[in-house]
Structure 1
Amino acid sequence: MTVGTDFLESATRFLKERFKVANPRYGSVYGIRKSPIGEDWEFDQATAARVFIVRISDAEGSAIEEQSVAHTRWSIEELHRRRSDIYPEGIVLLITGYVEGWIPDGPITLY
């Protein structure tokens, strides 16, 4: 993404182009991760990442799974079992809190 690009618009465009999800329904909570300038990134600058939760239909989920063996649906229990395989850190907590309803709406910082 370039400077000044809207995260939500970019995510919507990506979902439509890559996964054919025409009308994504975003969750009311999203994760933000910002790296400090001192971290070892390619251009040594502060970078931000946002993690949006998107609710899709079973048909859309099946279509995405058929595109690649790398795409799969996991239950909350499976997410917890595989938490060390999932990036960025904090995403399992974000998803769990959203699904179970105990994380408030809005941005949540991920570390």
Structure 2
Amino acid sequence: MESAARFLDEQFGLTQPRFGSVYGFRQSRADDNWESDRVTAARVFIIHISEAEGAAIEQRSPTHARWGVADLRRRRREIQPEGIVLLTAGYVEGWIPDGPISLC
């Protein structure tokens, strides 16, 4: 979370990010064909931002866009890692419990 907070501050000027109580993770198997043939993990955190913060990020970087859950679902095949749309929709809609959720 410290690394994510530092990244958000450096890239977007978000100095006090509010992390969601749900986060996703993907753990590869040791036999997966990765560059170093080792187990890797990826974590996906949900950060709450205000409308003003979202607008500031959008102005700062034209490649960033604000999407609602309907937009995410419509473009789910373009979004990585696999499972992030379901994680985000479940969090926003309130049907995923707090804690870690596997994205495998």
Tell me the TM-score normalized by structure 1.
0.89
Matched, 1:74 2:67: yes
Moved over 6 A (4+): none
Structure 2 residue aligned with 1:109: 102
Structure 1 residue aligned with 2:42: 49
Segments of structure 1 that go 5 or more residues without pairing to the other structure are 1-7
Structure 2 residue aligned with 1:60: 53
Letter in 1 for 2:78: D
Structure 2 residue aligned with 1:40: 33
Tell me the TM-score normalized by structure 2.
0.94
- Over the matched positions of the two proteins, sequence identity in percent amounts to 62
How far 1:67 sits from its partner (Å)? Answer: 2.4
Structure 1 residue aligned with 2:7: 14
Residue-pair matches, total: 104
Which range moved further: 8-17 or 58-67?
58-67
How far 1:40 sits from its partner (Å)? Answer: 2.5
Letter in 2 for 1:60: E
Alignment of 1:24-39 (within 5 A): 24-39=17-32
How far 1:65 sits from its partner (Å)? Answer: 1.0
RMSD value over aligned CA atoms?
A: 1.0
Structure 1 residue aligned with 2:82: 89
SS at match of 1:50: strand
